[in-house]
Structure 1
Amino acid sequence: MSKFLLSALFGAAVALSSSAFAADQTLAEFHADMGGCESCHADGASASADGAFEFEQCQSCHGSLAEMDDKHKAHDGMMMCQDCHVTHEMNVGQKPTCDACHDDGRQ
């Protein structure tokens, strides 16, 4: 089964089970509940110096940017997930906005 399909199935399961997480929970707290800090960080506590380990962890569950929708594909090879998704600050369901980087009206 492809990573994309698995991610879609996981997303659907989470959506159907609204009690699975609190909307005011950060992305980091949500991921920690699913597997501890080790699910994102090599030493279970702090980020790697270049963020590469965490980026690989994102892709191991969610797939690569190239495998995702058009908004993600456009950033493949140029950015890492954490460039937009600030896991310790953003809440579950909160999405970054394009105009944080693009001031020309691109969506």
Structure 2
Amino acid sequence: MSKKILSALFGAALAALALSPVAMAEPQELAEMHVEMDGCEACHADGEPSADGAYEFEQCQSCHGTLDEMDAVHQPHEGNLMCADCHAPHDMNVGDKPTCDSCHDDGRTPESILK
């Protein structure tokens, strides 16, 4: 094939990718995703945050399981942290992963823990 045809095909493929719904999807906040399930009540009693976050922590565990039931990154935090200590539902997007360095200064990452 000539270079012009290959260039045209490559350009068309890039344009199709750029216009695809996946490429155009906006990041979605964790809280927005949970609201789509059952309103604010998906996480909050009567739609209002609790004073200590305990109700919300129970709600996380009712869907996602306890920290002890999760992977090696979550298990050591059982009894020490609540989900929102690392996963800020009103500040993080779906798919965002918290970093370990907000508490640990030894260079660990979730990837290094799970090896």
Q: TM-score, normalising length from structure 2?
A: 0.71
Percent identity for Structure 1 against Structure 2: 67
State the Cα distance separating 1:71 from its structure 2 match.
Answer: 0.5
Q: Which runs of 4+ in 1 moved over 6 A?
A: none
Select which of 38, 42, 45 maps to 1:42: 45
Q: Which residue of 2 aligns with 1:82?
A: 84
What is the total number of aligned residue pairs between the two structures?
87
Larger Rg: 2
Select which of 68, 72, 76 maps to 1:70: 72
With over 3 angstroms needed to count, the CA separation of the structure-2 counterparts of 1:95 and 1:23, relative to structure 1, is farther
- How do 1:1-107 residues align onto structure 2 when only pairs under 5 Å count? 22-44=25-47, 46-107=48-109
SS at match of 1:70: coil
State the Cα distance separating 1:100 from its structure 2 match.
Answer: 1.7
State the Cα distance separating 1:24 from its structure 2 match.
Answer: 1.2
Alpha carbons 1:32, 1:39 under 8 Å: kept = yes
Q: Flag structure 1 segments of 5+ consecutive residues without an equivalent.
A: 1-17
Q: Which residue of 2 aligns with 1:11?
A: none
The structure with the largest helix share of the pair is: 2
Q: Flag structure 2 segments of 5+ consecutive residues without an equivalent.
A: 1-20, 110-115
With over 3 angstroms needed to count, the CA separation of the structure-2 counterparts of 1:104 and 1:89, relative to structure 1, is same
